Amino acid sequence: MSSASYKTSDFDYELPPDRIAQTPVEPRHNARLLVMWRDRPDLEHTIFWEIGRYLNPGDLLVVNETRVIPARLWARKPSGGRVELLLLKKIADHTWESLVGGKRVRPPMRLQVEGGPPAEVVAELGGSRRLIRFTEPIEPYLPQVGQMPLPPYIHEPLRDPERYQTVFAREPGSAAAPTAGLHFTPELIERLKAQGLSFAGLVLHIGLDTFAPVTEEDPTQHRIHTEWCELPPETAERINATKRAGKRVVAVGTTSVRTLETAARVAAPGEWVAPFVGPTDLYILPGFEFRVVDALVTNFHLPRSTLLMLVSAFAGRERILEAYREAIRLNYRFYSFGDAMLIL
């Protein structure tokens, strides 16, 4: 079916609240793994440490190397009132699109970041979004004054902020972690490499829009969020070589899928991807034709979300919802700190 045939309510499901993982599994690679095949009805249940059993020598795992920034700040209004700022996207050297928690925060109000520089509200962007311009770059202050912006459904404080970073994280810029990558450990990476698998990196900086449910009844009317991404030349070369050799490109996470399929849109004839740097507004719904991704490592996603629609496009809506029902029945853990799926 094409995307036009679906309603947003077709991507809904009931999740008992106690299935939402509040803390991560230790060690990371001990998370459970549900394995499903797109060409047969089987489901298998194992742990993430065993993922190599389902992959072949020569397969390439493509991972998102973004790093979550401690993007939650506090500032004071001229009246002394406290305002919460959540940095979403860097627009210019000193200017960020931000979510603002506080009343009557409008241009041209001046704010004083607690422990940081002064700032000015320069524009309203709808809802609680504001354009905030700092008097100097805010990044050097973040390690001291910022807090890690955990998703709204996680209520337990995080004892170790690094636990919300993947082992691949190197390029700061995300407001959320690429959670499929959270299951990898150095030991597992070495185990997979010894098996003849290889890894390549890309970057997509995740905004909090990724968690927002689709509110329009027709999902095609939803305004998809744009995110900055980069597929470097060396990764593009390795992907094209992998495909030419008849091996599989395994996307680790929906963010990797989005970047890879964006890079496919600018590929030369005879190639699968080309290097790409810039914003992507790619919206993947059922009916989408995947050009690059052969297999997908992913977590369990929120109802009515663009991420659930993406995995439904890859594996079929009915198959995905059937697998989710089975995962709920078997007490899998859902969302950012939850268990994983491998879709082949």
pLDDT tens digit string along 167-217? 999 999 998 999 999 999 999 999 999 999 999 999 999 987 766 778 899
Please tell me whether the overall predicted TM-score, pTM, comes out greater than 0.85 for this model: yes
Cβ-contact 8, 214 below 8 angstroms: yes
Q: Does residue 127 surpass a pLDDT of 90?
A: no
Residues 230-246: pLDDT tens digits? 999 999 999 999 999 99
Which domains can be identified in the chain, with CATH numbers?
A: 3-68+158-343 (3.40.1780.10), 72-145 (2.40.10.240)
pLDDT of 2 reads 57
Please give the pLDDT value at position 103.
87
Q: How confident is the model at residue 1 (pLDDT cuts 50, 70, 90)?
A: low
Distance CA 279, CA 27 (A): 34
CB 282 within 8 A of CB 258: yes
Please, what is the Cα angle at 47 between 25 and 299, to 5 degrees? Answer: 65
Q: What is the mean pLDDT of the chain?
A: 94
Residue with tokens 């109000």: 109
> Which tens digits make up the pLDDT trace of 288-323?
999 999 999 999 999 999 999 999 999 999 999 999
Of 91-95, 158-162, 265-269, least confident by mean pLDDT is 158-162
User: How high is the pLDDT of residue 4?
Assistant: 59
pLDDT (0 to 100) of residue 268? 96
pLDDT reported for residue 208: 72
Contact between 185 and 24 under an 8 Å Cβ cutoff? The reply is no
Q: How confident is the model at residue 271 (pLDDT cuts 50, 70, 90)?
A: very high
Q: Given the structure tokens 């912006």, which residue do they identify?
A: 149
Q: Which amino acid is at 206?
A: I
Tokens of 227: 């995110």
pLDDT: which is higher, 225 or 162:
162
Helical (H) or strand (E) element with 299:
strand 295-299
User: Does 140 have pLDDT greater than 60?
Assistant: yes
Mean pLDDT value across residues 52-65: 98
Omega within 30 of 0 (cis) for the link into 161: no
Q: How far apart are CA 22 and CA 309, in angstroms?
A: 24
SS3 103: coil
